[in-house]
């Protein structure tokens, strides 16, 4: 019988951490995630990739890099100046290929044919704040085909709670289905849900999703029925490699550290001395 794992956000975070500690570079996992999104959809027209500050945004930059590498034009709309190290790596690679990157402004998605939602990840909870709230409303009103990466921005990954969330035509979740995606209201936000298997080793089993269960057998407590919007066939990107880029990632980090060091030296050099402040003893 065909099963899919359904897990908590904490379990996913721990599984991700242990997979990286086990020897799979985080850049490789991010690249595989983006490749799963790339393989899940048809790409055409004006493609706007909306990215936030975390690794969910990094998936968006990695997707931009993959699209451009395959001759498909796209643009990135940023909601934050802060980037994680992995996100900064793929942002640099996308920009090097000529992908336009611009900060979010009203009307950013008005002419888009496809909007990729990489704003808020599975760890989000609470109320959506600005400028994310305005961006989500614009994405929902744009009339474009919407693809959410890992989870619909604004949805709680554990409970499915979503006072304001992106409504997607397709959601590509990374590694495993999250518990909140089976909540009663989840189908109101995603028309289709598919998993991309990037090689995350599950830390601990929780629930299983079954495509069907024989009527003459009692369904075990931890086996859940498959909702109509969930595709039970994962997109497998476990064979996708990105190890050759690891040294470039270290170069990005080195450049960042060197820039910070130069700034600190300059600030120390330019700092007024005690005599200049009139505070000498």
* Co-location of 127 and 36 in the same domain: yes
Mark whether 270 and 181 lie in a shared domain.
no
Q: pLDDT tens for residues 141-170? A: 999 999 999 999 999 999 999 999 999 999
Structure tokens at 274: 């005690």
Residue 24 belongs to domain with CATH number: 3.40.50.10260
> If we measure between CA atoms, which residue out of 80, 164, 153, 87 comes closest to residue 121?
153
For residues 219 and 256, state if they share a domain. no
- List, for residues 40-70, the tens digit of each pLDDT value: 999 999 999 999 998 999 999 999 999 999 9
pLDDT band at 125 (very low <50, low <70, confident <90, very high): confident
Q: Write down the H helix ranges in 142-232.
A: none
Same domain, 262 and 192: no
| Average pLDDT score over the chain | 87
Q: Coil, strand or helix: which one is 241?
A: coil
103 vs 137: CA distance, rounded Å: 17
Q: Are 151 and 122 in contact (CB under 8 A)?
A: yes
Give the residue-averaged pLDDT of 6-34: 96
Structural domain of 275: 244-281
Res 54: pLDDT: 87
**Beta bridge mates, 174:** 196
Residues 183 and 223 in one domain: yes
For residues 54 and 181, state if they share a domain. Answer: yes
Residues 233, 270, single domain; the answer is no
pLDDT tens digits, residue range 199-248? 999 999 999 999 876 655 555 778 888 999 999 999 999 999 995 444 45
Same domain, 188 and 151: yes
User: Quick one: 259 and 237 in the same domain?
Assistant: no
Count other C-beta atoms under 10 Å from residue 8's C-beta: 18
72 and 17: one domain? yes
**Contacts of residue 266, Cβ cutoff 8 Å, sequence gap at least 6:** none
Answer yes or no: do 232 and 256 share one domain: no
Residue 114 has pLDDT above 60, yes or no: yes
Total domains in the fold of the chain: 2
Cα–Cα distances in Å, from 74 out to 112, 119, 186, 247?
A: 10, 16, 28, 26
**Do 183 and 275 sit in the same domain of this protein?**
no
């Amino acid at each position: 019988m065909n099963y899919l794992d359904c897990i908590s956000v904490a379990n996913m975070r721990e599984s991700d951490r242990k997979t990286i500690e086990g020897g799979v570079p985080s850049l490789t996992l991010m690249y595989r995630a983006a490749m799963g999104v790339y393989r899940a959809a048809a790409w055409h027209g004006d493609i706007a990739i909306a990215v936030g500050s975390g690794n969910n945004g990094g998936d968006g930059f990695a997707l931009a890099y993959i699209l451009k590498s395959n001759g498909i034009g796209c643009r990135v709309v940023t909601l934050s100046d802060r980037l994680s190290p992995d996100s900064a790596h793929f942002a640099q690679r996308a920009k090097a290929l000529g992908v336009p990157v611009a900060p979010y402004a009203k009307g950013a998605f008005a002419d888009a044919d496809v909007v990729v939602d990489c704003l808020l990840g599975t760890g989000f909870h609470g109320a959506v704040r600005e400028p994310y709230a305005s961006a989500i409303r614009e994405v929902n009103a744009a009339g474009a085909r919407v693809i959410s990466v890992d989870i619909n921005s604004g949805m709680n990954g554990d409970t499915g709670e979503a006072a304001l969330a992106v409504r997607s035509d397709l959601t590509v979740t990374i590694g495993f289905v999250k518990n909140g995606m089976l909540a009663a209201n989840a189908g109101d936000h995603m028309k289709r849900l598919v998993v991309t298997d990037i090689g995350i080793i599950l830390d601990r089993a929780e629930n299983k999703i079954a495509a069907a269960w024989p009527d003459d057998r009692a369904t075990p407590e931890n086996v859940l029925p498959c909702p109509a919007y969930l595709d039970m066939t994962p997109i497998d990107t476990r064979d996708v490699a990105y190890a050759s880029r690891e040294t470039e990632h270290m170069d990005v980090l080195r450049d960042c550290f060197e820039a910070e060091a130069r700034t600190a030296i300059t600030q120390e050099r330019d700092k007024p001395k005690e005599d200049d402040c009139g505070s000498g003893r």
